[in-house]
């Protein structure tokens, strides 16, 4: 419930052209947008919202596990808490947000709820913004009509802030989310943050300085000295380093993360594995697996498949066909779907012809 005084204050501030520090209107608008396209199981669902006696009520699905930050002690119980499965579902939620051009900017264990029947559900969209391919000016300060700071470049929580935000640099909202996902993964695996701040001078632990000046191997040695390295399989560590690339242009995308070997291992629920059995010359039985999407229309796709195509469509429109992340994603999606690159390109062209994202829901991708 948003208290009537808070409701009135935010509306008055917006009417004066000010930027409220806590904007429940922006959060509600983002949740409505996500729910209008069907939502995603890894994002907390908006059930309804209404106003009564001056207060605004936002009704969301109940998550019986509470905040994931409070559940880190369950890491040892692998039957109920499988970090790989949790992080895969989490990244599927991030891909869904990014495919809808929403940058959360405050991704964290604290802003992720847990449901025992499913797993992680991203929540708290108070800091989200629409994606802008030109980036966000990290030094921007908005002021109210009395000259007071209303919004500064720093968004997110101490452990999760990207180097660009902490250095007052222009930053990409989606890349900022991916950095936070890397810190999320480190915490998920070890119950400890990798550093206090992703900043050479602010971080008194010295861990970030070790990472930047000594490189990934020096940081890996430091994690070993902390007696935390044993929590990471080598493929998991590789993915962590892709998420925590200091320079945005080298940081992976949500699709890159989901296509990484560590997260792909053992996953065949949506990208169905069809078994083909044939007899060899000696009569022995041979089996081969081919991965294919069985859907023929947009409506028949899973939400993860829709997110992937929507994200490909956006990358193609914004960066062109030679954009390296797009080329990687096209190749990996062709492997997942069983479609050729030409079929994928045709599907994206069909999406392009429909215009708005709302219309993209109804396009055929056969």
**Catalytic residue (choose from 23, 101, 106, 177):** 106
Closest C-alpha among 222, 267, 244, 251 to residue 82: 267
Please confirm, yes or no, whether 106 is among the known catalytic residues: yes
- Say which residues have a Cβ less than 8 Å from residue 229's Cβ, sequence separation at least 6: 220, 223, 237
CB 198 within 8 A of CB 163: yes
The contacts found for 25-31 with CB under 8 angstroms, 24 or more apart, are 26/125, 26/126, 26/128, 27/124, 27/125, 27/126, 27/128, 28/56, 28/58, 30/102, 30/125, 30/128, 31/58, 31/60, 31/125
Distances (CA, A) of 126 to 21, 36, 108, 351: 9, 18, 13, 30
CB 126 within 8 A of CB 23: yes
Are 114 and 205 in contact, with CB atoms under 8 Å apart? no
Q: Are strands 149-151 and 142-143 parallel, antiparallel or unpaired?
A: antiparallel
**Separation of first and last alpha carbons in the chain:** 44
Query: Would you name the residues annotated as active-site residues?
Result: 106
């Amino acid at each position: 419930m948003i208290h009537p005084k808070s409701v009135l204050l935010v509306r008055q501030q917006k009417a004066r052209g000010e930027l409220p520090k806590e904007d429940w209107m922006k959060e509600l608008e983002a949740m409505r947008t996500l729910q209008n396209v069907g939502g995603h199981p890894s994002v907390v669902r908006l059930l309804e919202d209404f106003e009564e006696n001056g207060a605004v009520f936002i009704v969301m699905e109940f998550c019986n596990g509470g905040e994931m930050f409070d559940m880190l002690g369950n890491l040892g119980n692998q039957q109920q808490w499988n970090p790989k499965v949790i992080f895969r579902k989490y990244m599927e939620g991030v891909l869904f947000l990014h495919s809808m051009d929403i940058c959360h900017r405050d991704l964290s264990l604290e802003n992720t709820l847990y449901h025992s029947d499913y797993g992680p559900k991203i929540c708290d969209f108070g800091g989200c913004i629409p994606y802008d391919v030109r980036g966000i000016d990290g030094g921007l300060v908005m002021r109210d009509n009395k000259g007071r700071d209303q919004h500064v470049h720093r968004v997110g929580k101490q452990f999760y802030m990207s180097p660009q935000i902490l250095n007052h640099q222009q930053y990409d909202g989606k890349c900022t989310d991916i950095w936070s996902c890397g810190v999320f993964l480190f915490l998920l695996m070890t119950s400890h943050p990798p550093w206090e701040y992703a900043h050479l001078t602010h971080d008194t632990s010295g861990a970030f300085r070790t990472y930047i000046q000594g490189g990934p191997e020096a940081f890996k040695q430091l994690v070993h000295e902390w007696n935390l390295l044993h929590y990471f399989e080598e493929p998991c560590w590789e993915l962590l380093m892709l998420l925590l690339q200091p320079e945005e242009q080298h940081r992976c995308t949500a699709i890159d993360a989901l296509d990484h070997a560590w997260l792909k291992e053992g996953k065949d629920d949506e990208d169905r594995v069809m078994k083909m059995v044939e007899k060899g010359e000696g009569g022995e039985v041979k089996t081969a697996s081919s991965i294919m999407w069985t859907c023929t229309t947009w409506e028949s796709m899973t939400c993860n498949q829709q997110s992937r195509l929507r994200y490909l469509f956006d990358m193609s429109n914004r960066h062109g066909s030679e954009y390296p992340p797009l080329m990687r994603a096209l190749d990996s999606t062709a492997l997942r779907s069983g479609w050729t690159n030409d079929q994928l390109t045709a599907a994206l062209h069909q999406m392009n012809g429909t215009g708005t994202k709302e219309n993209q829901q109804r396009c055929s991708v056969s």
